[in-house]
A and B are shown apart, each in its own frame.
Chain A
């Protein structure tokens, strides 16, 4: 895990990381407000559906992962990594892994606040475990997407933002095909599988089942990182 350690320590020394950590802080704040709103489990559903997964998680994961490999490309320290006996796949996977771990660390306050909100309004333990599970799987997917984007373009963070806002935010709302390629939609399927009807309607999961969503979110990082490895192998540096 030599590469992962280098990337991970670098992530937490970047000012950008602390700026993006404001988003989970916002999640904590809104969870407290929602708890006092008296809207019960519905408020939990709305929080998860509209803020925690599609905005906070998506942006934290994409900013961290695109800069994890983007910074290596930018200052060309990636040259030193390729000038080793390590296979390209390991460079890609370890970079992804450290971005993923950093994302989970940064998301912890928001997730804990959401769980506290959920348990205070009567959401069951199983459903709260589903929330954690969904955050972990979706975080892995967003980070893999970010790593691939950063290998494909120098404007990876911008492309990631377009994906989150246009593809996931708008297009997947009415196009079923787009929904299948939306990480946030699959995450919602998982979050909604053990909640009551009212909370479920607030989460508004897609019609594809939670089982399919788990499989999709497990396959996504594998495919995205395989594409990343292929790209790193073929790209001309610097």
Chain B
């Protein structure tokens, strides 16, 4: 395995950023999925050797990225948010980093990497004048310039428009197809889904799920969802009309409001309009409750806890 994380923990003051995290990653693309603050960046910074875990060990290509300098010849990192030196041109910055990583012909390697990310035309402009998307591509170029065996990408698609995203995904996918191990973090499931066949899900500093992305997605789809219906008058006629529908799992009624739990939101939508017509109720709004990443993660966490018991 190219990346081996064994029971690592990291705290910042009273905050536990990572707790007993273990997983392994082999060649190909693996997604590191988690909400903001889940510990993704902390984990990637430990993998890149920027910091040390309080406990546990990190191994990349069987070396310690914190102490083994030569190992960085084989690791490429795109850190989150941090740009390169704004007073240099992209070519200067990428060439300098190629030199500092012992690449035999730094200028040629830099030109090739900048070409790979589509920055050849802008290579001699100062990075300070770059747009967010171009800066992100320059960061990717410096991570590719020494032809690494392992790529660690922290939210690489942030700030990119759809065309740039597609291009970035293509570049990374090509590298993976040629045997590179890629770990890419994101807080957006469908982003990870598009490029990573494998995924590790991190919630509040713990790994709550890992495996094939399709499997994890199915897991998320099958969870019960709650729909909140707000209406004009008495909610009880609507509630009783809905009670018989197959898509309904549970119903809670409050003033001007009905909350329905369902496994099949589409069928519930049909049932709702029928029930509204039958009961003569005017619906004001229909909205999913907790249909966001936080609640998906909360669901996975609860599931993971259940499995542990």
Contact = CB atoms under 8 A, between A and B. Distances in A.
Interface residues of B, number: 28
Given A2-B100, A237-B45, A87 B69 contact: yes
B87 A82 contact: no
Which label, helix, strand, loop or mixed, suits the secondary structure of the A interface? loop
Interface in A210-238: 236-238
Contacts, number: 65
B49 A83 contact: yes
Contacts of A83: 48-50, 72, 75, 77
A75 B72 contact: no
A76 B45 CA distance: 12
Interface stretch (B78-86, B181-189, B208-216, B264-272): B78-86
A238 B50 contact: yes
Contacts of A85: 69-70, 72-73, 100-102
Contacts of B51: 236-237
A75 B84 CA distance: 9
Given A77-B82, A86-B100, A87-B69, A13 B49 contact: no
A6 interface: yes
A174 interface: no
Contacts of A76: 79, 81-82
A9 B79 CA distance: 24
Q: How large is the interface on A (under 10, 10 to 19, 20 to 34, 35 or more residues)?
A: 20 to 34
A87 B72 CA distance: 11
Contact of B100 (A79, A81, A237): A81
Contacts of B52: 236
Nearest to A236: B51
A238 B96 CA distance: 21
Interface string A1-25: 0110110011001000000000000
B35 interface: no
Contacts of A84: 69, 72, 97, 100-101
B142 to A, nearest CB: 7
B154 to A, nearest CB: 10
A3 B82 contact: no
Contacts of B45: 237-238
Contacts of A77: 82-85
Contacts of B75: 83
Contacts of B86: 75
A22 to B, nearest CB: 22
Nearest to B96: A2
B84 A80 contact: yes
Given A85-B69, A237-B45, A237-B50, A75 B100 contact: no
Interface in A84-115: 84-87
Contacts of B97: 80, 84
A10 B85 contact: yes
Given A76-B82, A83-B48, A236-B50, 8 more contacts: A6-B96, A77-B82, A77-B85, A79-B50, A83-B49, A84-B101, A85-B70, A86-B100
Interface of B: 45, 48-52, 69-70, 72-73, 75, 77, 79, 81-88, 96-97, 99-102, 142
15 contacts: A6-B88, A10-B87, A77-B82, A77-B83, A77-B85, A81-B100, A82-B49, A83-B50, A83-B77, A84-B97, A85-B72, A86-B69, A86-B100, A87-B69, A237-B50
Interface of A: 2-3, 5-6, 9-10, 13, 75-77, 79-87, 236-238
